[in-house]
């Protein structure tokens, strides 16, 4: 279904209780309502990124004091993947601060790492920058299940945040990922100074992709010291929950991931996000280079809410069953 901006505005501005009810209807139809996908995100090449993304402490244009690191070797990354699996993660995500994925020894090492993580029985996700089609194909063949490339914000606000890569380049990268057979992970960041309409236009862009992303990370800006967005106030809680709920309604089969910013959210706000349709989080005390809630506090909250870890194959089976039911009614 292709949504107009007016239709999305109407959803977002529903009375709060009605919006949550609508999101729960979609969530119960297409998802395991008690399941939460548990992921881990590891920085495998840190800092000195040539991009000028104003939110990012890894940008070479920012003065954050972050020490740059070369691409980690396969053995080191696999140890982290083992720890992630032992901690309960079912998906291991690897991020590298590149504008474009390099060829040569670095890419060969990356493919070896992907094979190793895949052999552990973990889902593999990578976020590495722009890909050539043959690189995307090679990653898929090596066992990479998912590739992340966020839109970040609306097309209209995009140039206020990034000038070193165009919005259309991001869309083209997503197309290459789809062609390769990998699943698409794409979302954005809330709280960078954009308007409500910018947020809704971003969701419109994502939901009108054919097909829409399999995973949609919703990040709340962490205004890191030394970045151009330093000092920005944390996003309004109810505005954030409304975005989560709207994303769930527009993209009912997607895993809606409650991503960056959870260190600034109390348990009650996170619970509201789960109620609004979020069903995925990152475990571990770090997201690339920024803080994340402790694993123990996440499990404590999950248990308080009566939720459980979501098996990826079970999730896909539920999606397929829901699709079949909808198709039978057409």
Q: Mind telling me the catalytic residues?
A: 49, 53, 56, 93, 125, 185, 257
Please tell me the number of Cα atoms within 13 Å of 247 on its side-chain side.
34
Strand runs labelled E in the chain? 35-45, 91-96, 123-127, 146-148, 183-185, 188-190, 215-220, 255-258, 280-283, 286-287, 290-291, 308-309
Give, for 80, the enclosing helix (H) or strand (E).
Answer: helix 74-86
3-state helix, strand, coil in the chain (%, to 5): 45, 20, 40
Helices (H) and strands (E) in the chain, counts: 11, 12
- Cα separation, 123 vs 91, in Å, equals 4
**What is the dihedral sign for C-alpha 145, 213, 309, 32?**
negative
- Cα separation, 239 vs 273, in Å, equals 11
Pairing of strands 188-190, 183-185: unpaired
Please enumerate in sequence order all residues whose Cβ is within 8 A of that of 21, keeping only pairs 6 or more positions apart, or say none. none
| Three-point CA angle 131, 124, 86, nearest 5° | 150
């Amino acid at each position: 279904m292709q949504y107009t901006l007016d239709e999305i505005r109407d959803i977002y501005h529903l009375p709060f209780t009605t919006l949550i009810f609508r999101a729960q209807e979609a969530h119960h139809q297409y998802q395991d309502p008690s399941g939460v996908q548990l992921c881990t995100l590891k920085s495998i090449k840190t800092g000195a990124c040539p991009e000028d993304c104003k939110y990012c402490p890894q940008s070479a244009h920012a003065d954050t004091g972050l020490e740059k690191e070369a691409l980690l070797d396969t053995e080191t990354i696999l140890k982290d993947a083992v720890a992630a699996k032992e901690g309960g993660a079912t998906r291991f995500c690897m991020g590298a601060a590149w504008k474009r994925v390099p060829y040569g020894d670095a890419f060969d090492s990356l493919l070896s790492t992907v094979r190793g993580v895949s052999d552990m029985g973990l889902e593999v996700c990578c976020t590495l920058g722009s890909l050539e089609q043959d690189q995307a194909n090679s990653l898929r063949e090596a066992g990479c299940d998912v590739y992340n490339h966020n839109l970040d914000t609306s097309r209209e606000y995009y140039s206020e945040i990034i000038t070193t890569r165009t919005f259309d380049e991001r869309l083209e990268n997503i197309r290459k990922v789809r062609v390769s057979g990998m699943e698409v992970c794409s979302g954005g960041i809330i709280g960078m100074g954009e308007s409500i309409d910018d947020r809704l236009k971003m969701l419109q862009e994502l939901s009108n992709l054919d097909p829409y992303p399999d995973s949609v990370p919703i990040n709340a800006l962490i205004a890191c010291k030394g970045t151009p967005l330093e000092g920005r106030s944390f996003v309004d809680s109810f505005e954030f929950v409304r975005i989560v709920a709207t994303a769930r309604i527009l993209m009912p089969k997607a895993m809606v991931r409650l991503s960056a910013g959870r260190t600034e959210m109390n348990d009650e706000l996170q619970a509201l996000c789960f109620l609004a349709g979020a069903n995925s989080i990152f475990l571990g005390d770090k997201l690339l280079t920024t803080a994340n809630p402790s694993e123990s506090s996440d499990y404590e909250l999950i248990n308080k809410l009566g939720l459980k870890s979501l098996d990826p194959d079970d999730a896909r089976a539920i999606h397929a069953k829901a699709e079949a039911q909808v198709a039978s009614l057409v």
